[in-house]
Amino acid sequence: MTKTRRIAAKNALTIAFFAAAVLNASTTSAKELLWGDTHLHTSYSFDAYTNGNRSADPAAAYRYAMGESVIHPFHRARVQIHTPLDFLVVSDHAEFMGVIKHIYEEGGSNAKLGWSDWLGAEVTAWLLRRSVENDTSLKFFGALLPEHSDARDTARAMEGLGYDSGSLMPDMPVVRATAWDSISATADRYNKPGEFTALIGWEWTGTPGGANLHRVVVSDANAEQAAKITPFSFNDSPFPEDLWRFLDGAEQNVGARFVSIPHNSNLSKGWMFDTTSLRGGPIDAEYAKIRARWEPIAEITQIKGDSETHPDLSPNDAFADYEEYPHYLAKVGDVEYKATEGDYLRSALKRGLAIEAEVGVNPYRLGFIGSTDSHTGLSSAEEDNFHGKMALDSVPERKQAMWGDDAGPNGWSMSAAGLAAVWAESNTREAIIDAFKRKEVYASTGPRIALQVYALAPDAELDISKADATTKLAIDGVPMGSAIESDGRERFSLAIFAGQDPKGAGLQRIQVVKGWIDGQGETHERVYDALVSNDSSGASQLNAVWQDPDFDESQTSFYYVRVLQVATVRHSSLDAQALQIAVIGHPDAIQERAYSSPIWYR
């Protein structure tokens, strides 16, 4: 707290850290920028295995992330990441974890099944093998997708009745437990504190009625601790609050910490960041506190599209149309995609302000990360080295007809994205979870754009051209992810430092996105250009000190930074050039970007 007192004494702006921001007291000079992926599926995930990944297991995933060459699970060529990662979470689905792999390779044997489940396993194995032989695996997987329906009605119908997958596939708890132990043991084997961090986690794949409510759960547990639990799945409950209740018990039982990370809110049918719970109850102070505790960050960008905002929600934002993905996670039908406020993170931040004004707690005070959600076992967020969402769509010639239906997505609908950037005190499980909890993190759509953002009192002396500027800011500033309170006498500044990916394109502009709530309880948003490069090839570095020209000390608000690269070639265009065809319906170029976690002002 010494630094907080120093800031308060020096500046007219009184800065008070909320509980979530107290951890930011350590200096950024003692922190390092780490790049990783919190969302990676291997052959232990039922959908990855069904869609052609029958060999890229957790060991292969870690080896690829660390920079080693591995064999691609479908086309069997040698592949390698351009720039290794610093950390990785293998987040295989808790639902049927390892089950499809076991059924395909061993049928119903060695799983301690009754005769009916054994028969179901054998029939499923026969169907799956036939689909592989006939190259119809995608249709087999499509049969497992849910039907379109109302998410709340579906969840209520499921409660206490178990999950009907629509197939004969048995649950196989013995197989799931064995798979979980193997995944955790592999993480321990590849975890090298200070060099590379392998975090243990899983995905809770809540999709009631085709609404994406998925969460990735990440922990600083080791394999011995992880063995004390079985990952909580959508089969256990379709309600997120039951997942959080499980995590509360798990922390006490395991002696480790857990974080739940929502993803693909863009496909949630309005439910991810709703104004009521999925059970239909109000978001009161208690609910908001619980959600804020377990979900400090959210995934803003990944292979299945960008979840920052949408042109229908932000019509005055010229860059709101980045990598849209208008395809729900349900059987292709006549349900048209519609962007709603509950689907996107900018809208969620504004809703959080409104809920806080009503109940006193903000459930959507969220930091941002990106990750891939790759199901190939390969964390490929590089545009010119993209291995597809599924193993089966990793070959350019297969991307056009990925699902065999013009109404659905194909391999070119997907984006080579994204990455999680973390300012951590060390490259360890504990330090990375610390950074998640204090929200000192940000997202990239793929490029390694270096980004630091601080709130700074206006009379603080700072020369951003000096080499020690960020060290000084670590003492006198408040980093991204924090909340500040003011006595209202003076406005603060944002000090922004952005550097291009050493292997990537130049930076085109820095923007500040502001959201606020007025005296009538209405929320608003505005996008400001803080700095624009006048060079057509962009700049290697863009640094700025920015003040809100419309600052109103009476309005609670948030600010986050969006850094845009100059336009570069999209992977679909690279495929088109190689195939000598036209890829219709997808842009030739994209303007990749980074999103800082917000800073909140009260």
Tell me what the mean pLDDT of segment 60-85 comes to: 98
- How many domains does the structure of the chain reveal? 1
Q: Tell whether 191 is covered by a domain.
A: no
Which band of pLDDT confidence, cut at 50, 70 and 90, is reported for residue 287?
A: very high
Residue 294 φ/ψ region, left for φ over 0, alpha for ψ in the -120 to 50 degree band, beta for the rest: alpha
Domain range enclosing 558: 1-30+452-602
pTM for the full predicted model: 0.92
Q: Tell whether 569 is covered by a domain.
A: yes
Pick the residue with more confidence: 164 or 336? Answer: 336
pLDDT number for residue 158 = 81
Pick the residue with more confidence: 341 or 18? Answer: 341
Which band of pLDDT confidence, cut at 50, 70 and 90, is reported for residue 22?
A: very low
pLDDT in tens, 117-148: 788 778 888 888 888 777 777 667 766 778 88
Q: Tell whether 54 is covered by a domain.
A: no
Nearest-angstrom CA–CA distance, 61 and 183: 11
Q: What are the backbone dihedrals phi and psi of residue 566, each rounded to the nearest 5 degrees, phi first?
A: -70, 160
Is the Cα torsion angle 235, 236, 242, 248 positive or negative in sign? Answer: negative
Q: In whole numbers, what is the pLDDT of the chain averaged over residues? A: 89
Tell me what the mean pLDDT of segment 558-586 comes to: 94
pLDDT number for residue 511 = 98
pLDDT number for residue 222 = 98
Per DSSP, 378 falls in state -
Tell me what the mean pLDDT of segment 573-599 comes to: 93
Per-residue pLDDT at 227 exceeds 50? yes
Pick the residue with more confidence: 18 or 116? Answer: 116
Tell me what the mean pLDDT of segment 510-535 comes to: 97
Per-residue pLDDT at 405 exceeds 60? no
The proportion of the chain whose per-residue pLDDT surpasses 90, expressed as a percent, equals 73
pLDDT in tens, 474-490: 777 899 999 988 766 56
Tell me what the mean pLDDT of segment 543-552 comes to: 94
Q: Tell whether 512 is covered by a domain.
A: yes
70 neighbors 64 (Cβ within 8 angstroms) = yes
Per-residue pLDDT at 242 exceeds 90? yes
Per DSSP, 459 falls in state T
pLDDT number for residue 488 = 63
Q: Tell whether 41 is covered by a domain.
A: no
Query: Residue 476: which of 5, 2, 1, 7 has the closest Cα?
Result: 7
pLDDT number for residue 146 = 80
Tell me what the mean pLDDT of segment 205-229 comes to: 96
Per-residue pLDDT at 470 exceeds 90? no
pLDDT in tens, 410-423: 899 999 999 999 99
Q: Tell whether 489 is covered by a domain.
A: yes
How many of the other CB atoms lie within 10 Å of CB of 601? Answer: 22
Tell me what the mean pLDDT of segment 299-318 comes to: 98
Print burial letters for 121-153: b (CB count within 10 Å at least 16), e (below 16): bbbbbebbeebeeeeebbebbbebbbebeebbe
pLDDT in tens, 380-404: 999 999 999 999 989 998 887 665 5
Which band of pLDDT confidence, cut at 50, 70 and 90, is reported for residue 350?
A: very high
SS3 content of the chain, % helix, strand, coil (to 5): 30, 20, 50
Tell me what the mean pLDDT of segment 146-153 comes to: 86
Q: Which residues pair with 511 in a beta bridge?
A: 529, 562
pLDDT number for residue 154 = 86
pLDDT number for residue 583 = 84
Q: Tell whether 499 is covered by a domain.
A: yes
pLDDT in tens, 259-280: 999 999 999 999 999 999 999 9
Peptide bond into 418 cis (omega under 30): yes
Tell me what the mean pLDDT of segment 162-181 comes to: 77
pLDDT number for residue 179 = 97
Pick the residue with more confidence: 527 or 460? Answer: 527
Q: Tell whether 13 is covered by a domain.
A: yes
pLDDT in tens, 183-215: 999 999 999 999 999 999 999 999 999 999 999
